[in-house]
Structure 1
Amino acid sequence: MKHFTLGLVVHPDRRVLDSVRLIIRHARRTGGVVVARPCDAGQVGPEVEIVTPEEFVERVDGVISLGGDGTMLGAMRLVVGRQVPVLGVNHGHLGFLIEVTPSELEPALDRLAEGHYTLEPHSCLEADDHTAFNDIVVTAAEPLSSLTLDLEVNGLSHGYYRGDAVIACTPTGSTAYNYAAGGPVISPSAPVVALTPVAPMSGISRPVILGKDDRIVLRNPSGDVPLLFSVDGTPAEPLRPGAELPVRLRTDAVDIVRFDVDAYARRNRVKLSLLDLPLRPDQLVELIPQPLREQAERLRQTMP
């Protein structure tokens, strides 16, 4: 990995400097360069080269996200279509997208340098010039108001939504707001889009699953009432009266670094169980790593 340029994307408030210093030391040892954008300069310290956002995207051979899922999503959006590997280090909370903890970062960097990893492709939603790896959420512009939103698929009207919101999500995003709203959990291997109404009052009242080649249009049918849409939880933008929001699924939009796919899957099962995924107690025990189970059994046997 000589002359490898690593780009850092960091959470604006988390304490990530220890991880940054470790990455810098590793890069120097392996002949790499570490860069960041001006918006992250205050978090990464003076030893990281600061480049323009455009130069960042052009130069990086890999991206390391230091934060939670929101930071990871931002890092992924930067390199859509470039096939640049993105490694997440969890300085956040649940971190569904992220495999590596700060304590695991040093061996992860060694494995990255040695090429001992796999790449997990992720799809995204594209809506005009917006990119969402989790979801696009349409709501009323007025607080505590309901929306009316028309759905068109492949040029044909498929009815309308009336309720609090409508969520369009990727398989990755199916465990986020979509899941909380009663939508389905979708396998990452399925190239589909879920449309889930939130608190439906009339019209379409159940989640709808559409394929990667379906042309989806969400339309504001009102002549005078604006709506809002938000992409991956970013600040909302207006969907003006009569305006359309075309949504399509882009497969293999970005590659996430994975070192141990099975361990990552086990961790996410634990996280989903915290969100009330129905598991029996014996199934929950299966989620505990085998070494910890053996250690607990030895301790149990020594107790009177």
Structure 2
Amino acid sequence: MGDVVNREVLVVSHTHARALAARAELEQRLAVHGIAVRAAEDVAVPAPVLPEERARLSTVEVVVVLGGDGTILRAVELVRGTDVPVVGINLGHVGFLAEFDVAEINDLVDQIARRDYAVERRMTIDVTAITPDGMVHQAWAMNEATVEKNRPERMIELAIGVDGRALETFGCDGVVLATPTGSTAYAFSAGGPVVWPDVEALLLVPLSAHALFARPLVVGPSSVLEVELLTRTDTTATMWCDGRRTLTLPPGSRVEARRGAEPVNLARLRPGPFSERLVRKFDLPVAGWRGGRQQ
């Protein structure tokens, strides 16, 4: 018993009834193994996480998340800057970041009890927004930062650049600045490429751009992506980070995205290549591969 007395798991759950029921089951099963549970409440409400709050996670071994990818991103806010990994139980739709479905809680608990998991470090992006009044705003994202129009009937005029060099200007609905982890989220739905999570790269994906050369870009991890909201734009835009943290951008604002100084950790309990996860999560047809049948 000495091996498990001081073990602790943080549980982050959505607030709907299904998540709360799954949380109760999870806590009961962890208790059987002598693993203490700490709960993070009100995770549906975005809020800045103070350093002293993060420091209190020093005794936590792993964070278990009950919900969709949005809830996992909230949990990541809590642990960024620590070595604590996050693992998700999917209660949403695709739930690409989640490892398990709700019916597999027992398997998840058994693996946590055995410490049978690997830790996968995921790249983040640090985002700097400079508004025309000279104010500098710092933000970050695990999946993506976006610059999007505020008025549905209007386009915004953007200039994009890489490493201090202008690349193109166009009217559009916005742009997505993504990590490899975020390549299968908003960037994917906007027509961007799927990038394997062990590839170190940054992505820029235009949203409904009116231009001949408005293709997704993939650049190296030392590059800096830049987006300027041109002064001829007659409306403000909004910068979103992971769909949670926002900033209003007046015309003349500039946004820079670079490799984040603080990666985040995901606990991986299922072996296998990323391609298997793609097939499973998106239910991709693979019948006929090497003469075999679809499983």
TM-score per shorter chain, which class? Answer: 0.7 to 0.9
Alignment map for 1:77-156 (pairs within 5 Å): 77-128=77-128, 129-156=138-165
Q: Deviations over 1:91-138 (max 9, x none)?
A: 111111111122222222221122211111111122143222222221
Deviations 1:215-235 (Å, cap 9, x if unpaired)?
A: 222222216632112222226
Q: Which residue of 2 aligns with 1:270?
A: 280
Partner SS for 2:193:
coil
> Is contact 1:35–1:56 with CA below 8 Å preserved after alignment?
no
Partner of 1:295: none
Paired residues of 2:144 and 2:241 also in contact (CA < 8 A): yes
- Partner residue in 1 for 2:31: 28
- 1:230 maps to what in 2? 240
- Against the structure 1 CA distance between its residues 242 and 287, is the aligned structure 2 distance closer, same or farther, given a 3 Å change threshold? farther
Deviation, 1:273, is 4.4
TM-aligned CA deviation for residue 272 of structure 1: 3.0
Which of 245, 248, 254 is residue 244 of structure 1 equivalent to? 254
Q: Which runs of 5+ in 2 are unaligned?
A: 129-137
In the TM superposition, residue 39 of structure 1 has moved relative to its aligned partner by: 1.5
- Output the CA distance in 1 between the equivalents of 2:77 and 2:11: 13
Q: Does 1:212 align with 2:221?
A: yes
Q: Distance in 2 between matches of 1:114 and 1:246?
A: 43
Name the SS of the counterpart of 2:215 in structure 1: coil
Q: Does 1:17 align with 2:14?
A: no
Structure with the larger RCO, 1 or 2 (CA within 8 Å, 6+ apart): 2
- Equivalent-residue separation in structure 2 for 1:115 and 1:82 (angstroms): 18
AA partner of residue 34 (structure 1) = V
The CA distance in 2 between the partners of 1:161 and 1:126, in whole Å, is 24
1:192 aligns with 2:204: no
Residues 263/103 of structure 1: CA separation in 2 closer, same or farther (3 Å cut): farther
**Number of aligned positions between the proteins:** 274
Deviation at 1:56, TM superposition (A): 5.0
Q: Distance in 2 between matches of 1:79 and 1:55?
A: 12
Q: Flag the 1:19–1:249 CA change in 2: closer, same or farther, 3 A.
A: same
2:288 to 274, 279, 282: 282
Secondary structure at 2:106 match in 1: helix
Candidates 164, 170, 190, aligned match of 2:179: 170
After the TM superposition, list the runs of 4 or more consecutive aligned residues in structure 1 that deviate by more than 4 angstroms: 52-56, 284-287
Distance in 2 (alpha carbons) for counterparts of 1:40 and 1:163: 33
C-alpha distance after superposition, 1:25-83 (max 9, x if no partner)? 34434443322234159xxxxxxxxxx97665323322111001111122112211212
Alignment partner of 1:281: what SS? coil
- Residue 2 of structure 1 corresponds to which residue in structure 2? 5
Secondary structure at the counterpart of residue 70 of structure 2: helix
Larger helix fraction of residues: 1
Give, as a single letter, the amino acid of the residue that structure 1 aligns with 2:108: A
1:257 is matched with which residue?
A: 267
Q: Structure 1's 90 and 148: CA in aligned 2 closer, same or farther, altered over 3 A?
A: same
Q: Which runs of 5+ in 1 are unaligned?
A: 42-51, 289-304
Distance verdict in 2 for CA 1:209–1:264, change over 3 Å: closer
